[in-house]
């Protein structure tokens, strides 16, 4: 089956040179570090490249149109293969797994994968954390079963409360109420909820305060994200970026806030607390204040390529190992070798001639 691959804007990733060395995994209790001394702590697992939205900053319809050919199901890693990679990653120090897409809830029986991952443990015997990022369209019907399967929390993407603007940004006919119902249902099921808003100047920046007002006192953490140059198809323009500092100035006009300490190393959002006790917000500033120095994340694509950065231009094939008879030890050696050779720090290079011109699409490996 032929397939359009806009992921990097050049040859299919499987044809790119794969130079990672084979090295033994770390000894028990020894962290797995990359060339910049960053540990591997988080693995984001994209379970599908399909989505029911066509957000202009992620899957613009002019590229991902009706004739776009998504991956055949046989290309995708099975839940058993994903779990095998995750189990190996957990033994190497990964503590958190985030399920992404595309839209992950489009993957049939996703709760079965959640249950399989929920049984994993770190070398110290602690259960791993299982989270999900979703556009929320199917969350109302799935939240309860996902919680029962072992999901720990959920992040919902919501870029506007105004229906007309939301439908324009998502390029869909889904009303905002559907997403809010999903958030409510997740909370009723006992899932902590974070809400992500990508802010784009001249488009939805007027929704910053309405979103803040709506989610104050809700118990949910609203996170504002600078518009990023992910992939090569979204027509990113620096002039459309609303910086984290600008976002905070908008918030401070109405609601005084103060900074909070990060919960853990590698936390992407700077945390802020409302002084009146109405809750917490986060600001993610990959463009204006890069946080590459503390990045502890790797990403697994739907068909089993390991990417070391959201802005990477190539991935490392694990599916060939999984389906070629490799042992668990060989898989661990491969993961360790790839991570130890990691030097990615794209956001610190943005705008320089050394930064990659073609990058993997966010719809393919998740945000």
In sequence order, what DSSP letters do the residues of 316-346 get, joined into one string?
EE-HHHHTTT--HHHHHHHHHHHHHT----H
In sequence order, what DSSP letters do the residues of 132-176 get, joined into one string?
EEE-STTHHHHHHHHHHHT--EEEEE---SSHHHHHHHHTS---H
pLDDT band, very low/low/confident/very high, at 21 (cuts 50, 70, 90): low
Q: Could you tell me which of 243, 165, 261, 242 has the C-alpha nearest to residue 210? A: 165
**Average pLDDT of 49-62?**
85
**Average pLDDT of 150-177?**
96
So what CATH class is 41-365?
A: alpha beta
**Average pLDDT of 89-108?**
96
Amino acid 352: pLDDT = 61
Amino acid 15: pLDDT = 35
Amino acid 14: pLDDT = 37
Distance CA 57, CA 242 (A): 14
Strand 305-307 vs strand 297-300: parallel, antiparallel, or unpaired?
antiparallel
Amino acid 231: pLDDT = 58
pLDDT band, very low/low/confident/very high, at 349 (cuts 50, 70, 90): low
Q: Which residues have CB under 8 Å from 91's CB, separation 6+?
A: 25, 123, 332
Amino acid 35: pLDDT = 95
Distance CA 339, CA 325 (A): 22
Average pLDDT, whole number, for the chain? 88
**Average pLDDT of 167-176?**
93
Backbone torsions φ then ψ of 37, nearest 5 degrees: 65, 30
**Average pLDDT of 92-117?**
97
Q: Do residues 1 and 314 make contact, with C-beta atoms less than 8 angstroms apart? A: no
pLDDT for 258 beyond 80: yes
Amino acid 12: pLDDT = 36
pLDDT for 361 beyond 90: no
**Average pLDDT of 249-274?**
90
Residue 26, token pair as written in the block: 């770390």
Q: Which residues have CB under 8 Å from 109's CB, separation 6+?
A: 79
pLDDT for 193 beyond 80: yes
Out of 206-210, 237-241, 354-358, the most confident range is: 206-210
Q: Do residues 71 and 49 make contact, with C-beta atoms less than 8 angstroms apart? A: yes
Among 114-123, 275-284, 320-329, 354-363, the least confident range: 354-363
Amino acid 346: pLDDT = 66
**Average pLDDT of 81-86?**
98
187, containing H or E segment: helix 176-188
- Alpha carbon 236 to its chain's center: 19
76: which DSSP letter? S
Ordered by start, the domain boundaries in the chain are: 41-365
Task: Give the CB-side neighbour count of residue 255, counting CA atoms within 13 A.
Answer: 24
Strand 316-317 vs strand 305-307: parallel, antiparallel, or unpaired?
antiparallel
pLDDT band, very low/low/confident/very high, at 233 (cuts 50, 70, 90): low
Q: Which residues have CB under 8 Å from 323's CB, separation 6+?
A: 81
pLDDT for 4 beyond 80: no
Distance CA 1, CA 322 (A): 22
Distance CA 333, CA 336 (A): 5
pLDDT for 7 beyond 90: no
pLDDT higher for 180 or 286? 180
pLDDT band, very low/low/confident/very high, at 309 (cuts 50, 70, 90): confident
Q: Do residues 102 and 144 make contact, with C-beta atoms less than 8 angstroms apart? A: no
């Amino acid at each position: 089956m032929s397939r359009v691959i806009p992921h990097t804007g050049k040859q299919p990733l499987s044809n790119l040179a794969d130079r990672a060395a084979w090295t033994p995994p770390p000894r028990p209790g020894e962290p797995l570090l990359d060339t910049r001394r960053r540990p591997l702590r988080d693995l984001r697992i994209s379970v599908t490249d399909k989505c029911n939205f066509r957000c202009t900053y992620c899957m613009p319809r002019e590229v991902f149109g009706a004739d776009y050919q998504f991956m055949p199901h046989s290309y995708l890693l099975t839940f058993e293969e994903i779990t095998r990679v995750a189990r190996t990653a957990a033994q190497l120090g990964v503590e958190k797994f985030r399920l992404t897409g595309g839209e992950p809830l489009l993957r049939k029986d996703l709760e079965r994968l959640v249950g399989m991952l929920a049984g994993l443990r770190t070398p110290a015997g602690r259960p791993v954390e299982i989270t999900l990022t979703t556009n929320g369209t199917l969350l109302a019907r799935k939240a309860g079963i996902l919680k029962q399967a072992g999901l720990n929390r959920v992040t919902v993407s919501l870029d506007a409360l105004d229906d007309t603007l939301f439908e324009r940004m998502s390029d869909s006919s889904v009303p905002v109420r559907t997403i809010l119902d999903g958030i409510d249902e997740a909370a009723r099921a006992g899932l902590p909820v974070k809400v992500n808003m990508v802010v784009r100047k001249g488009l939805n920046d007027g929704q910053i305060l309405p979103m803040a007002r709506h989610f104050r006192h809700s118990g949910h953490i609203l996170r504002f994200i600078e518009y990023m140059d992910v992939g090569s198809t979204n027509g990113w323009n620096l002039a459309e970026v609303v910086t984290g500092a600008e976002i905070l100035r908008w918030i401070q006009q109405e609601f005084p806030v103060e900074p909070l300490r990060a919960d853990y190393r590698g936390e992407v959002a700077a945390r802020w607390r409302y002084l009146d006790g109405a809750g917490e917000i986060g600001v993610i500033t990959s463009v204006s204040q890069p946080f590459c120095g503390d990045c502890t994340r790797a990403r697994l694509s739907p068909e089993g390529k390991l990417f070391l950065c959201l802005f990477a231009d190539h991935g490392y094939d694990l599916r060939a190992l999984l389906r070629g008879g490799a042992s668990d030890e060989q898989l661990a050696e491969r993961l360790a070798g790839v991570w130890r050779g990691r030097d990615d720090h794209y956001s610190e290079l943005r705008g320089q001639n050394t930064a990659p011109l073609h990058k993997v699409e966010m719809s393919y490996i998740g945000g």
